[in-house]
Amino acid sequence: MVPTHHATKLGRVISAAVVAAGLTLSVGVPASAYYQTLEAEDLGTGYVPAQDSSDVRVATFDVNLVGSSSGELTERLSTPGDRDASQVAQIIQRVRPEVIVVTGFDTDADQANAEAFSTNYLAVGSGEYDGIDYPYSYAGPVNSGVDSGADLDQDGTIGGPGDALGHGEYPGQGGMVIYSQYPIDTDNIRTFNNLSWTEVPDSKIAQTGYSENEKDLVPLTSVGAWDVPISVHGRPLHVLASASAEASRSETHAYRQDDQVGFWADYVGDEQPDEQADGANDGAGADDQDYITDDEGTSGGLDDGARFVVAGQLTPGTAESRAEDSETMSQLLDVDRVTDPEPTSSRDSQQATEDVATHTWLNPDPAPGDPRSARTDYILPSEELPVTNSGVYWPASGQDGAELVGGTASLSGLLSKLSRQPAATDHRLVWADINPQP
């Protein structure tokens, strides 16, 4: 699963780290032999260390593989060669998660896009990196682009992306797909696309400008919320996946995201922190699962003791929204059962000199006013799952892979700067290694 690099590449890339560690580098030895010995920061290359054989690597990545019209992405993925899809695939191949929640990805009813991306991109090796196979995938229904039949954005006309149940030009725009190397228990998947926002206790829909009739139309989730059980070593691991239709930056959108995060707090929380129960958070984070009903009519949250990972794009992650994002996420992060690995990237050790997007982030505790530090994508395992490693795939300029995230392979030089290509997405892949403990 871990790529073997050419001997000259190895000598050039890790020789300094090998010397510092007192090791001998033999020509032709696979790089994986050193991944278990050297820390990622010692490599200084942007490579991601391999996980322990007993661990499972789980990731989430908002890939921005979205078309301007229905069917556009289907055409782009029908054959290899799309620049953005190739770039995204190579990042996934470098990190090599066994389970990944892909957001910002156009989905369709027959899952053709998900299959094409897996077959024509993920499974096809790129350069020194082998392809990665995912025998199992799930690309369920989403709310983005589904027409509501009402003038939700109050622009005087009915129709268009602002009037969809979740912002989108067409059904499935910016949806989600889960890829897994472990079997997906499709019979026990729970989806919550139809859960009305008005059903959430103390929801913030009352603070929107929706009429009473419109309130009844709007679901809680703008894209989707799924509980997808995956069989790992014979026991279910519940992947709790969600994303937000982030094209809108309105207060209504922020209120909706706040309550969606609160939904997950309710779904997994057997007991909430005292300050939350006392009303410190007035959103959906109340200690109440009675309102939770999935699209098949089954009520209730996740069973006590069930192992889970919350994964996906949970907040807007803009510099302007960071304070609100922190308050929103506290509903979920303060739940006793939830663990935050607080991953960082190799870029954290190097001060960025180029402009970067505010959707990406460097660390979980950003400096005030730092536009590079907005956090938006999360991997949050349950307390029953020890986290052995975690990270954000964001190589610094001069490190291997920097060209995949809008950087350069060299720290200086006109040719390097001229060859810089824009990143396919302004999000970064977030990963964590968990020990599922049979």
pLDDT single digits (tens) 243-253: 988 655 577 88
The boundaries of every CATH 3.60.10.10 domain in the chain are 54-434
Q: Contact at 8 Å (CB) between 419 and 404?
A: no
Report residue 71 CA to chain centroid gap.
23
What does the alpha-carbon distance between residue 43 and residue 21 come to, in Å, rounded to a whole number?
10
- Taking each helix axis from N to C terminus, what angle separates 251-268 and 322-333, rounded to the nearest 10 degrees? 20
The least confident of 219-233, 237-251, 377-391 is 237-251
Phi-psi region of 60 (alpha: psi -120 to 50; beta: other; left: phi over 0): beta
Read off the pTM.
0.82
What does the alpha-carbon distance between residue 438 and residue 435 come to, in Å, rounded to a whole number?
9
Q: What is the secondary structure of 292-347 as a DSSP string? A: -B-TTS-B--PPTT-EEEEEEE-S---TTTHHHHHHHHHHHHTSTTB-------GG
State which of 46-60, 91-105, 272-286 shows the largest mean pLDDT. 91-105
Helix (H) or strand (E) segment spanning residue 348 = none
Q: What is the mean pLDDT of residues 296-300?
A: 96
Tens digit of each residue's pLDDT (9 = 90 or more) over 233-291: 999 999 999 998 865 557 788 889 999 999 999 999 854 444 433 333 344 444 578 99
Phi-psi region of 302 (alpha: psi -120 to 50; beta: other; left: phi over 0): beta
Q: Contact at 8 Å (CB) between 135 and 115?
A: no
Q: What is the mean pLDDT of residues 381-401?
A: 90
Instruction: List phi, psi (to 5°) of 113.
Output: -65, -45
Q: In 3-state terms, what secondary structure has residue 430?
A: strand
241 or 326, which is more confident: 241
pLDDT band at 94 (very low <50, low <70, confident <90, very high): very high
**Which amino acid appears at position 289 of this protein?**
Q
CA dist 386 → 120, 199, 268 (Å): 34, 34, 17
Q: How many other β-carbons are positioned within 10 Å of the β-carbon of residue 41?
A: 13
Q: What is the mean pLDDT of residues 338-345?
A: 87
Pairing of strands 99-105, 56-65: parallel
Token pair 């859960």 in the structure block, residue: 195
| CATH number given to 54-434 | 3.60.10.10
329 or 193, which is more confident: 193
Question: Roughly how many angstroms between the first and final C-alpha of the chain, as a whole number?
Answer: 22
Gyration radius (Cα) of the chain, Å: 22
Q: Contact at 8 Å (CB) between 229 and 238?
A: yes
